Amino acid sequence: MAPRHRGHRRSSNLRLYALMTLACGVFAVLAHFLFEAPAAVRSYAEDQINSAVSSAVRSQVKDAASGQQLPTIPR
């Protein structure tokens, strides 16, 4: 029986450990962005809607204060 070279097996295990650690790190970063992105997009959309509503209300109040006819809302 031929003697085993333990050095090759040790470096192979170390390489596998490093590869698995790197893969888990990449997966964790991707998972973080995938789960956090919808909340950030929702927050951005809500801020934009609130800004648009505020701008429209401000415009209508300004028009009303200057005595102009407000647009009627169909029902």
Q: What is the pLDDT of residues 10-69, one digit of tens each?
A: 778 999 999 999 999 999 999 998 888 888 889 999 999 999 999 999 998 888 888 766
Q: Tell me the whole-structure pTM to 2 decimals.
A: 0.47
- CB–CB of 70/63 below 8 Å? yes
